[in-house]
Amino acid sequence: MSEVSALAPFKVRSFRFQWPADLATSWAFEMETLILGWYVLVETGSVVMLTVFASLQYIGTLLAPMFGVMGDRVGHRNLLCAMRGLYAALATILMTFAFMGIVTPALVLAITAVMGLVRPSDIGMRAALVAESMPADRLVGAMSIQRTTQDTARIAGALTGAGLVAALGMGPAYMAVSSFYAISVLLTLKAGSAHPPVAGAAGGSARPRDTSSEHLASEAGATTRFPQTAGSAGNESARPRDTSSKGPASEAGATTRSPQTAGSAGNESARPSPWRDLREGLAYVWNTPHLLGAMCFAFLLNLTAFPLFTGLLPYVAKEVYLSDQTTLGYLVAGASFGALLGSMALSRIGHAVRPARMGLVFGAGWYAMLLVFAHTPHAAAGIAVLILTGIVQSMGLIPMTAMLLRNSDVRYRGRVMGIRMLVLYGNLPGLLISAPLIARIGYPLTATLYCAIGLAFTLLIAVRWRVHLWRPGAPANAR
CA distance 122 to 83: 8
Instruction: Render pLDDT for 229-248 as a digit per residue (tens, 0 to 9).
Output: 433 333 433 334 444 444 44
Four-CA torsion 240, 245, 248, 249, nearest 10 degrees: -30
pLDDT at 257: 41
Amino acid at 478: A
CA distance 52 to 43: 14
Side-chain half-sphere exposure of 291, counting CA atoms within 13 A: 27
> In a 10 Å sphere around its CB, with 0-12 CB exposed, 13-18 middle and 19+ buried, how is residue 282 labelled?
middle
Q: Answer whether 421's CB lies under 8 Å from 123's CB.
A: yes
pLDDT at 162: 61
Residue 218's CB is within 10 A of a number of other CB atoms, namely 12
Q: How far is CA 468 from the centre of its chain?
A: 22
Residue 417's CB is within 10 A of a number of other CB atoms, namely 31
Q: How far is CA 163 from the centre of its chain?
A: 27
Alpha helices in 59-138 (DSSP H): 64-74, 76-100, 105-118, 120-133
* Backbone CA torsion sign across 27, 33, 38, 39: positive
Amino acid at 458: T
Q: Answer whether 388's CB lies under 8 Å from 369's CB.
A: yes
Residue 220's CB is within 10 A of a number of other CB atoms, namely 9
Give the chain's residues under pLDDT 70.
1-6, 157-163, 166, 192-272, 350-351
CA distance 114 to 356: 34
CA distance 142 to 136: 10
DSSP 2: -
Distant-in-sequence, close-in-space partners of 99: CB < 8 Å, separation ≥ 6: 171
pLDDT at 39: 85
> In a 10 Å sphere around its CB, with 0-12 CB exposed, 13-18 middle and 19+ buried, how is residue 187 labelled?
buried
Amino acid at 436: P
CA distance 45 to 25: 29
Q: What crossing angle do the helices spanning 379-406 and 413-422 adopt, rounded to 10°?
A: 150
Beta pairing partners, 201: 199
Q: What share of the chain is helix, strand, coil (3-state, %, to 5)?
A: 80, 0, 20
pTM score, two decimals? 0.67
CA distance 9 to 407: 19
| Separation in Å, CA 434 to CA 52, 55, 380 | 11, 11, 24
The C-alpha angle 244, 143, 62, rounded to 5 degrees, equals 90
pLDDT at 48: 82
**CA nearest 177: which of 43, 293, 87, 292?**
87
Distant-in-sequence, close-in-space partners of 100: CB < 8 Å, separation ≥ 6: none
Which H/E stretch holds residue 48?
helix 47-56
pLDDT at 222: 36
Distant-in-sequence, close-in-space partners of 114: CB < 8 Å, separation ≥ 6: 90
CA distance 93 to 72: 31
CA distance 67 to 118: 9
CA distance 301 to 303: 5
Q: Answer whether 242's CB lies under 8 Å from 253's CB.
A: yes
Q: What crossing angle do the helices spanning 120-133 and 13-44 adopt, rounded to 10°?
A: 170
pLDDT at 466: 92
